């Protein structure tokens, strides 16, 4: 049926795609994402999609195959005459290189935005971009969704007492301020340096944490070093319970083992990526399916998406 909503999933986070489909009360679009013998991606749509309002869910975290899968799927839908194609990218990868901060480096965030657009996406839905201004790298409409309502709901239910919200680096101060306002705590931040890529060194902690419960919030936990080093410094300054909240659980390398042995009592993340271990005592995974599902319905019905956050 023309303009029907259909949700297709790549292979990067099929569990989240299914949860969204369940929220929408739909089955996932019928398609095959497979590999040729040499490893190349083979995509085939197994139903008529002429005139449909197609959404493709695929976080573009490494490996780069995930990004390529998204592009291949968009191309397939475009050539099959979908009316509109929305790339739903809960985690937008390659976002860290978003400017020429030194000579002779690429701007990968812009490159990926170009690739998604050229493949044929008409719009993009994404979550907690590493830098919000990446929105402007797209010349097609983009809806930037925040996981904050999901994380805040959890923290509101599980925290009491004197609270400080800490930004583990300067880049997360804005997120920290929003959380402090909503949770009724004060705001602090950590002056972090990176002696080498992926290493984190705490230079200073700004804010009074003595005898207080602390929540650190960030867009992503990658190696975990930022959160772990910050928690160590905050503990030494006399903080009570220290928790971490982040949208994207990248958990690369030894992150999980290191987080397990850290001063963090609980690490609360969402399922934009599928890398958090289910059933871990320390790691709590919250679903963003309802939030993304609601955004999808509203886009489909041409209703306001921003009103999701008020
Ligand atoms: C900083 O630029 C980001 O907001 C995160 O703090 C950072 O990406 C986290 O990385 P890691 O877990 O490797 O310290």
pLDDT in tens, 126-147: 999 999 999 999 999 999 999 9
Q: Which residues of the chain have pLDDT under 50?
A: none
Residue 160's pLDDT is 77
- Rounded to the nearest angstrom, the distance between the alpha carbon of 170 and the centre of ligand 1 is 11
pTM score: 0.95
Residue 203's pLDDT is 86
Residue 212's pLDDT is 96
- Rounded to the nearest angstrom, the distance between the alpha carbon of 238 and the centre of ligand 1 is 24
Q: What HEC string does the chain produce?
A: CCCCEEEEECCCCHHHHHHHHHHHCCCCCCEEEEECCCCCEEEEECCCCCCCEEEEECCCCCCCHHHHHHHHHHHHHHHCCCCEEEEEECCCCCCCCCCCCCCCCCCHHHHHHHHHHHHCCCEEEEECCCCHHHHHHCCCCEEEECCHHHHHHHHHHHCCCCEEEEECCHHHHHHHHHHHHHHCCEEEEEEEECCCCCCCEEEEEECCCCCCEEEEEEEEECCCHHHHHHHHHHHHCCCCCEEEEEEEECCCCCHHHHHHCCCCCEEEEECCCCCCCCCCCCEEEECCHHHHHHHHHHHHCCCCCHHHHC
- Rounded to the nearest angstrom, the distance between the alpha carbon of 186 and the centre of ligand 1 is 22
CATH code assigned to 5-144+290-309: 3.40.50.2020
Extents of the domains making up the chain: 5-144+290-309, 148-287
CATH code assigned to 148-287: 3.40.50.2020
Substitution site in 128, 194, 222 for ligand 1 pocket (most atoms within 8 Å of beta carbon): 222
**Closest atom, ligand 1, to C-alpha of 222:** 12
Nearest alpha carbon, ligand 1 atom 5: 220
How far is the CA of 75 from the CAs of 52, 68, 118, in angstroms? 15, 11, 9
Distance CA 79, CA 174 (A): 41
Whether 128 lines ligand 1, by a CB cut-off of 6 Å, is no
Confirm whether 5-144+290-309 and 148-287 share one CATH topology.
yes
Substitution site in 166, 219, 224 for ligand 1 pocket (most atoms within 8 Å of beta carbon): 219
**Closest atom, ligand 1, to C-alpha of 192:** 6
Nearest alpha carbon, ligand 1 atom 14: 226
Residue 1's pLDDT is 66
The active-site residue, picked from 192, 212, 232, 284, is 192
192 has catalytic annotation:
yes
């Amino acid at each position: 049926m023309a303009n029907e909503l259909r949700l297709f999933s790549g292979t990067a986070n099929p569990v989240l795609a299914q949860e969204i489909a369940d929220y929408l009360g739909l089955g996932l679009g019928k398609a095959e994402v497979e590999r040729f013998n040499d490893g190349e991606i083979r995509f085939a749509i197994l139903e008529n999609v002429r005139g449909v309002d197609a959404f493709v869910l695929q976080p573009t975290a490494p490996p780069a195959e995930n990004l390529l899968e998204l592009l291949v799927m968009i191309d397939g839908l475009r050539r099959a005459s979908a009316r509109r194609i929305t790339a739903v990218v809960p985690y937008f990868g390659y976002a860290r290189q978003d400017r020429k901060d030194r000579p002779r480096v690429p701007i990968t965030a812009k490159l990926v935005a170009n690739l998604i657009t050229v493949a044929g996406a008409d719009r993009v839905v994404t979550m907690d971009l590493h830098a919000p201004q990446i929105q402007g790298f797209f010349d097609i409409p983009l809806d930037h969704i925040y996981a904050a309502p999901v994380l805040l709901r959890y923290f509101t239910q599980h925290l009491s007492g004197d609270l400080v919200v800490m930004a583990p680096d300067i880049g997360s101060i804005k997120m920290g301020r929003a959380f402090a306002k909503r949770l009724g705590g004060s705001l602090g931040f950590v002056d972090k340096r990176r002696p080498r890529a992926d290493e984190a060194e705490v230079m200073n902690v700004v804010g009074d944490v003595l005898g207080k419960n602390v929540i650190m919030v960030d867009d992503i936990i990658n190696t975990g070093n930022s959160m772990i080093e910050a928690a160590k410094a905050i503990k030494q300054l006399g903080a009570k319970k220290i928790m971490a909240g982040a949208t994207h659980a990248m958990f690369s390398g030894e992150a999980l083992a290191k987080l397990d042995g850290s001063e963090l009592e609980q690490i609360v993340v969402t399922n934009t990526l599928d890398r958090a271990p289910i059933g871990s005592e320390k790691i709590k995974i919250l679903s963003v399916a309802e939030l993304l599902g609601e955004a999808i319905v509203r886009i489909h019905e041409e209703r306001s998406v921003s009103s999701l956050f008020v």
